[in-house]
Amino acid sequence: MSRLVYFIRPKGQRGPVKIGCSATPENRLLTLAVWCPYELEVLAAAPGGFDVERRCHLKFARDRLHHEWFAHSPELDAFIEHVATHGVFPDLPHLPLPKPTPRKHKS
């Protein structure tokens, strides 16, 4: 199943913005809406898996509020606008690479 990296925020507000990954961003929005006191909207989504999601998280790490939620910034707005307009991530090869997660060895 192919996944999409999506951007969700409260409708009519500039932020916070959730950067996540799902095969069905609209279904994810419905799940989030149960826990959120604001109406939410999907701003953009494009093909990409968890690696692309982690790269986006690293790119906007200075704006991280909590887990997958990020503060509004002009750079994030421009990034989302590019994804919404073109359906791809700008400069994907130049997005930061996540550090490998050390694997635990079973004793």
Query: Which tens digit of pLDDT belongs to each residue from 58-95?
Result: 999 999 999 999 999 999 999 999 999 999 998 877 77
What contacts 93, CB < 8 A, 6 or more positions away?
A: none
What's the pLDDT tens digit per position in 9-47? Answer: 999 999 999 999 999 999 999 999 998 899 999 999 999
CB 46 within 8 Å of CB 15: no
* pTM, two decimal places: 0.86
State phi, psi for 88 to the nearest 5 degrees.
-140, 165
Measuring CA to CA, which residue among 60, 53, 49, 6 is closest to residue 31?
6
- Measured in residues, the chain has a length of 107
> What integer pLDDT is reported at residue 91 of this predicted model?
80
Question: Is pLDDT above 70 for 107?
Answer: no
Structure tokens at 85: 């307009």
